[in-house]
Structure 1
Amino acid sequence: MSEAQQVFESETQDLEGRTLSNRELLRALLKKPQFVICVLLVVAVFLMAAFPRLFTSVDPRFCELGKSQRGREPGHPFGFDIQGCDYFANVIYGARPSVLVSLVAGFGGFAVAGILGLLAGYFPGAVDTIISRVADVLFALPGLIALIVILNSVPNRSIWIIVGIILVTGWPQGMRVMRSTVFSVRNREYVLAARSIGVPPLRILRRHVFPNAMAPLLAMTTLGIGGLIGLEAVLTFLGVGLQPPSISWGSQFGVAASYRDSPHLFIWPAIFISTTTISFMIIGDSIRDALDPKLIR
């Protein structure tokens, strides 16, 4: 009975230490100007995606053909597209599908990779073998080419179909990271002590293993969200992503490629994609550096 009490006391101490660690992590991140600036930029993009009317009152589908491809005018800072629609409104409304695909695919991939990595790392044997062999098969697929082939075979491509296919093909790398971290955590003293007194495996995974093994996968996910924004743009640009009448930064790239005499059609979505992607990468890089034990003093 005393041994059980010691284990549960160690659980409490571990949780308290982890809360303090989180506070220290946040404090360390807020001391980095580049992290704060990038977080503010990402928040602005999120607001654009969630509440586009905060930034423009113009309907992006209200068009005047007489203004086709014109440059900026008073009240229209980004000019007009080929149909005479306000390009600023199109760029603002184009943030929603791009951000939605990247966030849902990113954190959905975090959940899938985290769960499968936990199971593969904590249950070596049949469970690990099955999950790892499936991951090897997906690793063998040629990445972007596989996405293009799969999406090209889907007639009606919505945001959720694109997210689902990215999730199905993109979890193995995160699973490998989580699995390797779980291997090092599963043999620590507090895990062995909890296992020795009969604590259920699910509780051990939830209370001890996952909180202490998730940091590398979290940093990797944050880094990858920026790349997913670019991936959505590339897929839509290649014609296998979102379909009209959906408005996204990738679809604007596709139109701009056919009208090179109007550079503003390319410049503005490129600026927004680049800024958002780089911001997510700097945030992820800052989190990774803060979690690196070699850098903790």
Structure 2
Amino acid sequence: MFWVYVAVITVLALLSVLPGPIAALFGAGDPYACDISDSADPPRAGHPFGTDLQGCDIWSNVVYGTRTSLSIGLLTTAFALAVALVVGVLAGYRGGWVDAVLGRITTVFLGFPFILGAIIVLNSVGTRSVLVVSAVLALFSWPAMARLVRSSVRQVRDAEYVQCARAMGLTTGRILRCYVLPNTIGPVLAVATILVGGVIVAESTLTFLGVGLQAPSISWGLQLASAQARFQQYPSMLLFPGLFLSVTVIAIIALGDMVRDALDPRSR
């Protein structure tokens, strides 16, 4: 199953890197090339997934939406992981008042409901681009990982190899870089992999509710939002974006679970 999930994610990565050529293989190729006379057409030659209410090729929109969803998932996770590593390492290694202050800050952010907090912040900003949405989602995603980093660092900071590094006169930065981080990053990377899938769901949910990405951006959430009112008459408009979203999230989260089990056999 590991290789099945890797194969699925590899295909999705190809779709996000080469959306134009891949979309042109089976469909119109241009998600913005719409013909209102083709509104809500069923799947046919040239439009394997049919067209939406504006006459746009659903296949092309789904392919280009893959890039948007994966970009937001990866950017959000990268931002959150960077903050979590800084906060968690400082709190876990220094301890004392540094740990107390950073712990209180982490607790404050943990107190905000994820979706509700993102809705409030996104409603207060102007342009909701991929970068802006990623930054807002990262704002509420880092605390859990920071706590995991802190607990991992506290477990290794007094290990014999770390004490030997201190006795040799190595700088704190080198100790953290060469001895502490390599022995604490494994569980955090597994959680970060799972977070990618959760972020993709969150972005689609926010966009579906009208507080995420805005047109002319292309997103699975935007496709689901535009198709909800006509689902009974034209189910293909909702089916295919929803199918891609589900497969992507399941593959990423399952792969993250397998990575976590590989790094920590006790969690199996």
Same fold (TM over 0.5): yes
1:187 aligns with 2:135: no
Q: 1:183 to 1:70 in 2, by over 3 A?
A: same
Give the conservation status (yes or no) of the 8 Å contact 1:117–1:177. yes
The CA deviation at 1:295 is 7.6
Provide, for residues 102-152 of structure 1, a one-character-per-residue CA deviation record: whole Å limited to 9, x for no partner. 011112212221221111100001221221111111111122111111101
User: Given the alignment of the two structures, is residue 36 of structure 1 paired with residue 3 of structure 2, yes or no?
Assistant: yes
Q: What secondary structure is seen at the aligned counterpart in 1 of 2:89?
A: helix
Residues paired across the two proteins, number: 263
Match of 1:269 among 238, 241, 244: 241
Deviations, residues 138-188 of structure 1 (Å, cap 9, x unaligned): 111122111111101112111111111112221110000010011101011
Closer, same or farther: CA 161–192 of 1 in aligned 2, 3 Å? same
| Pairing 1:137-156 to 2, within 5 Å after superposition | 137-156=108-127
Alignment of 1:214 with 2:185, yes or no, is yes
**2:258 aligned residue (273, 282, 286):** 286
Distance in 2 (alpha carbons) for counterparts of 1:295 and 1:284: 13
Alignment partners' CA distance in 1, 2:197 and 2:236: 23
Provide the secondary structure at the position in 1 that maps to 2:140: helix
Which residue, out of 62, 67, 73, partners 2:33? 62
Partner of 1:240: 211
Which one has the largest radius of gyration?
1
Pair 1:97-2:68 in alignment: yes
1:48 lines up with 2:15 in the alignment = yes
Aligned equivalents of 1:72, 1:294: Cα separation in 2? 48
Of 40, 55, 79 in structure 2, the residue corresponding to residue 108 of structure 1 is 79
Structure 1: distance between partners of 2:191 and 2:49? 35
Corresponding residue to 1:120 among 91, 108, 128: 91
Task: Provide the secondary structure at the position in 1 that maps to 2:138.
Answer: helix
Aligned mates of 1:258, 1:101 — CA distance in 2: 26
Query: What SS does structure 2 have at the residue aligned with 1:56?
Result: helix
Deviations 1:270-291 (A, max 9, x none): 1101101000011101111111
Unaligned runs of 5+ in 1: 1-33
Any conservation in 2 of the 1:102–1:225 contact (CA below 8 Å)? yes
Partner of 2:85, secondary structure, is: helix
TM-score (norm 2): 0.95
Aligned residues of 2:122 and 2:212 also touching (Cα < 8 A):
yes
State the alpha-carbon separation in 2 of the partners of residues 136 and 191 from structure 1.
29
Alignment of 1:73-92 (within 5 A): 73-92=44-63
Equivalent position amino acid for 1:125 in 2: G
Moved more, 207-216 or 104-113: 104-113
| 8 A contact 2:79–2:135 mirrored in 1 | no
Conservation of the 8 A alpha-carbon contact between 1:48 and 1:54 = no
Query: Which residue of 2 is the match for residue 176 of structure 1?
Result: 147
